Structure 1
Amino acid sequence: MTILDTHLHVIDRGRLAYPWLAGVPALDHDFSYDVYAREARRVGITDVLHMEVDVAEDDIGREIEMVAGLQARPDSLVRGAIAACRPESPEFPAFLEAARANPVVKGFRRVLHVVPDDVSEGAVFRDNIARLAGTGLPFDVVVRADQIPKAIALADAAPNVQFVLDHCGVPAVKDRAEHPWREHVAEIARRPNVAAKISGVIAYADPAGWTLADLRPFVEHVIGAFGWHRVVWGSDWPVVTLGGTLSTWVAATHALIAGCSEHERTALLHRNARRIWNLPA
């Protein structure tokens, strides 16, 4: 079955700066598109969106250029970039206009769990996010489970913007901590302008011995809360390798949705993503 991966990270330390990598030794390496693509093709991934990797602010434009180069390769899987941005900056409107003119850019993300909570609460940030309304460019939200209320407030402040909650809201799978994550997910799912990404949750499980049963309550709750028309799939490679491999996560996904209809499976694995990010069929 066709899979559209909405969450690939390419890490090229010789080309771009990643200040956060020094604190995560397991990921402080180069992770190339070629390595990813070889495995991705084997497991049925046919289309990919590159997700920004929280590069240094001065490298945001260069990261978009890198993705453009990958997309231009013959037989590339890459269909565009979900680009980094700084909505808290007064310069965001000019950045947005330039990005809208670049066909490689399909959406945006600002990593919020690495900045103070009040960054997303600022008037400049919220006014700039509201500028995405009508652009066809969604905004991915990555927050810790305890920060989901911040994402709810952001979605409420920009009801005409399409948001995507990454990684099932980052539940503590290893600790089986379903609360208050479960209640937060149910609440944010009430916002029709928010979709959820079933991406890389094995990274939050016990790497020494997680099983499908450990993942199921988290994945099934997100799908149940959002419905099959508002969920998309992502690998979160290479972060996913903290809990297994790309192939392991794909196999786990297929096992988790084995009892679902073909319509439901195709909605999660590619159809919803094509709609949300305006990608060709």
Structure 2
Amino acid sequence: MIIDSHQHFWHFDPVRDSWITDEMQAIRQDFLPEDLLPVYRENGIDACVAVQAAQSEEETRFLLRLAEEHDFIKGVVGWIDLLAPDVEERLAHFSQYKKLKGFRHIVQAEPEGFMLQEAFLHGIGKLEKFGYTYDIVIYPNQLDDAIALVKQFPDQKFVLDHIAKPYIRQGIIYPWDEKIRALARFDNIYCKVSGLVTEADHKSWKEADIKPYLDVVFDAFGSYRLLFGSDWPVCLLAADYARTKAVVTHYLQDRLFAQENEVWYQNAVDVYNLEL
């Protein structure tokens, strides 16, 4: 079995989705379950977790509707205003949806310190009561904040998206590598092996460019806290689905990884409490 722990759906809106610039023509269009399902069939993917791409409760409801209509969507990571004074009431409202597994805020677009402000910490502190995960999507300069956040909530499950978007294109690995190892010392955080090809050079990347970064996360987190994710359709900026998946397939083969089922599906089931 293979579970794609990180992919997106959207009806493209040039205003709302302004992050999808004119240079990203490959993804300036709608991407929906009927577009993804044939891709999954071609690549042997059994199920997925749909992750928010817009910062609104409307986005969360949109993904939940898709999950109700398509059984292969086993979980949703939505968005909620974690800074809001009524965050607990909103969490209680959403707790009626069985496929809602956690939340995410696109912190990479925020200034350093965003995750450590009092209102945000208050919101994070309410997630455990409802059994929700929190996905951390950041750039390397925000890893110190992530370490401080995860340390404050030892009983909260966190998931680091896209291995914190290291500078693969530039070949820069330090100090990202040291901070990843520091973050991985906390056993309440998992890490998605996702979003790698888009951090490399879109036109000329090779698997060898990505391998040093995979070495770091596999050594730091071990097989029992890593999850495969495609980041479809964003990955299409640099590779099709088959080539995106092959990066992980070939890496696991080269390392003769005995616990590869944990990376392909078991860790996703565990961290997101998926019902298959």
Query: What's the TM-score once normalised by structure 2's chain length?
Result: 0.93
Q: Secondary structure at the match of 2:168?
A: coil
Deviation at 1:136, TM superposition (A): 2.4
Aligned match of 2:50:
50
Q: In 2, are the aligned partners of 1:126 and 1:158 still within 8 Å (CA)?
A: no
Query: What's the TM-score once normalised by structure 1's chain length?
Result: 0.91
Q: In 2, are the aligned partners of 1:88 and 1:119 still within 8 Å (CA)?
A: no
More displaced, 244-253 or 25-34? 25-34
Which amino acid in structure 1 is aligned with residue 2 of structure 2?
I
Structure 2: segments with no counterpart, 5+ residues:
none
Aligned match of 1:245:
240
Q: In 2, are the aligned partners of 1:139 and 1:164 still within 8 Å (CA)?
A: yes
Aligned match of 2:5:
6
More displaced, 257-266 or 157-166? 257-266
Which amino acid in structure 2 is aligned with residue 184 of structure 1?
K
> Over aligned residue pairs, what C-alpha RMSD do you find?
2.0
* Counterpart check, 1:165 vs 2:160: yes
Number of matched pairs: 275
Q: In 1, are the aligned partners of 2:67 and 2:76 still within 8 Å (CA)?
A: no
More displaced, 178-187 or 116-125? 116-125
Which amino acid in structure 1 is aligned with residue 223 of structure 2?
W
Aligned match of 1:133:
128
Separation of aligned partners in 2, 1:19 and 1:226: 34
CA offsets 1:196-222 (integer angstroms, 9 cap, x no match): 110020111112221111111111210
Deviation at 1:187, TM superposition (A): 0.7
CA offsets 1:159-184 (integer angstroms, 9 cap, x no match): 21111111011111111110111111
* Counterpart check, 1:36 vs 2:31: no
Aligned match of 2:140:
145
Separation of aligned partners in 1, 2:19 and 2:237: 16
Q: Secondary structure at the match of 1:29?
A: coil
Task: Output aligned runs, 1:1-281, within 5 Å.
Answer: 2-13=1-12, 17-22=16-21, 25-26=24-25, 27-55=27-55, 57=56, 60=57, 62-73=58-69, 76-260=71-255, 263-281=258-276
CA offsets 1:142-195 (integer angstroms, 9 cap, x no match): 000111111111111212111111101111111111011111101100111111
Deviation at 1:260, TM superposition (A): 4.5
Which amino acid in structure 2 is aligned with residue 18 of structure 1?
D
Which amino acid in structure 2 is aligned with residue 151 of structure 1?
A
Q: In 1, are the aligned partners of 2:140 and 2:176 still within 8 Å (CA)?
A: yes
Structure 1: segments with no counterpart, 5+ residues:
none
Q: In 1, are the aligned partners of 2:75 and 2:272 still within 8 Å (CA)?
A: no
Separation of aligned partners in 2, 1:191 and 1:23: 40
Q: Secondary structure at the match of 1:72?
A: helix
